Amino acid sequence: MEDKNIIAHIDKLASEEHELFQRESSGKASDADQKRLAELETMLDQCWDMLRQRRAKREFGQNPGDAELRDAKTVKNYIG
């Protein structure tokens, strides 16, 4: 997957997240909306992590295609 595809996916997920945040702030969010928000947060974290991996590999002369999607637990527990 190319960086531009990852960025496009991030934009799509962020747009959906924004819509759900608006629903939540107006008091109209359902339990399913809350669950989806949590899923989106994890998916966005994973996408950003993948993009950072690709950029780091490229910067150090490695193949960005070798970056791998890390599991949710790893990404959530990452401390920079």
**CA nearest 37: which of 19, 12, 49?**
19
pLDDT digits (tens, 9 = 90+) for 35-59: 999 999 999 999 999 999 999 999 9
Please report the DSSP string for 9-25 in residue order: HHHHHHHHHHHHHHHHH
Residue pointed to by tokens 């949590």: 38
pLDDT band, very low/low/confident/very high, at 76 (cuts 50, 70, 90): confident
Arithmetic mean of pLDDT, 68-74: 93
